[in-house]
Structure 1
């Protein structure tokens, strides 16, 4: 199974948007792919359970079906930091529980499993564990989504430096143009390409129409997709 973890430079970098596009790309190449959103806050009641719009988008983009609670095992109603939401709900989030949930999604028969994080890279899951502890324990290759806006260079470099300090394998980054009016967009993109140690995999241009992904050969190689 090909497994990847998609993280972002911050909460609104566009992780769901990019993960959905990657799942659709895999579908175009006839791959059996599924998305996993282990932790989600900001959920609403539907069909007698809490559901999250991001998790539903991943389910719609996947080519392998699974029950909602398999795709999103930990869902919380308030749109606040997940570890705080979990405390308020009386749920003890930890690495071990995430691992058990991951085994459930891995058993669904997909060839590709894309896990979308929550928030940015340094997301607490309890008082002394972070979501990156689980990513490191699973030895998942990481794709970094850079939300292209003012401050993105700092956020991307700090996130990358922390991953390197942990020995995490960040295989590449994707530029997501979240700000249509960003000043010096191309100059910022060029600065990131010059400074980040991993390759640019794709660019998602800002659009109010059907989202598209400008794909580089580095992405096809990273995903083990033949041209």
Structure 2
């Protein structure tokens, strides 16, 4: 196993669901795990400080247990693009700072480490850098989460093209069913999957249906049933 960067075709494509599901699957195999969310907006004020539900979900699937500040060093309250939230907070991250922060957890070399981005591949980190630069600087293989909805073919193909243009391997993609108008029996749905399989030129690591589990831990466990780890195929 190694470290991977998890990105999505858009905001709410299901990055955290898929990342937590992959971590849960690794834990079933008695592997050590770590999920990092270096930058997160849309955080809640708690007695322990700002906390992000996605980062907490990844923390819950990290074994051995890991401090929240290691998982999510840059937490912002406004639910807006990270660079805008950072500007409002006056705490603007840089790639150099992120790389310094993740160096120690990456050095632990757990069996599976996932670094989850924010939004899609080209989301800005600050006025001059994109968050994708973290994956590029660390030379991480990428897992792409495709939110299965109308328009996903264009989003997925452009994302895959951008990842490869930046010089990184796309080691797999996961489809996450987020459009309630699509079903596993719909001919259009099947045609979309066939097109993704043909054009993304990377292994499909699973298709996650709409889940009824009502807690992050239960959703991670349920998602794990539909996923494969990179290298399984």
* TM-score, length-scaled by structure 1: 0.92
1:33 aligns with 2:45: no
Displacement after TM superposition at 1:107 (Å): 4.5
Residue 114 of structure 1 is matched in structure 2 by 114
Residue in 1 aligned with 2:226? 214
Whole-Å separation in 2 of the counterparts to 1:198 and 1:124: 26
Match of 1:50 in 2: 50
Partner-residue secondary structure (3-state), 2:191 = helix
**SS of match in other structure, 2:40:** strand
Deviation at 1:53, TM superposition (A): 0.4
Instruction: Check whether the contact 1:173–1:199 (CA below 8 A) recurs between aligned residues.
Output: yes
Q: Which residue of 1 aligns with 2:130?
A: 130
C-alpha distance in structure 1 between counterparts of 2:160 and 2:108, whole Å: 31
Please show how residues 100-111 of structure 1 align to structure 2 within 5 Å. Answer: 100-107=100-107, 110-111=110-111
C-alpha distance 13-40 of structure 1, shift in aligned 2 (>3 A): same
Q: Does 1:200 align with 2:204?
A: yes
Q: Which has the higher contact order (CA 8 A, sep 6+)?
A: 2
Q: How does 1:1-227 map to 2 (within 5 A)?
A: 2-107=2-107, 110-182=110-182, 184-209=188-213, 211-212=222-223, 213-215=225-227, 219-220=228-229, 222-223=230-231
Structure 2 unmatched runs, 5+: 214-218
1:158 and 1:214 mapped to 2: Cα distance? 25
User: How many corresponding residue pairs?
Assistant: 221
**For each residue in 1:136-185, what CA deviation from the matched residue of structure 2 results, as whole angstroms up to 9, or x when unmatched?**
01000100000000000000001111112111111110111112322621
Give the deviation of 1:109 after TM superposition: 6.1
Is there any run of 5+ residues in structure 1 with no aligned partner, and where?
none
Check whether the contact 2:2–2:109 (CA below 8 A) recurs between aligned residues. Answer: no
SS of the counterpart of 2:118? coil
**Secondary structure, in 3 states, of the residue corresponding to 2:120?**
coil
CA RMSD in angstroms, aligned pairs only: 1.7
Distance 2:76 2:108 in 1: 24
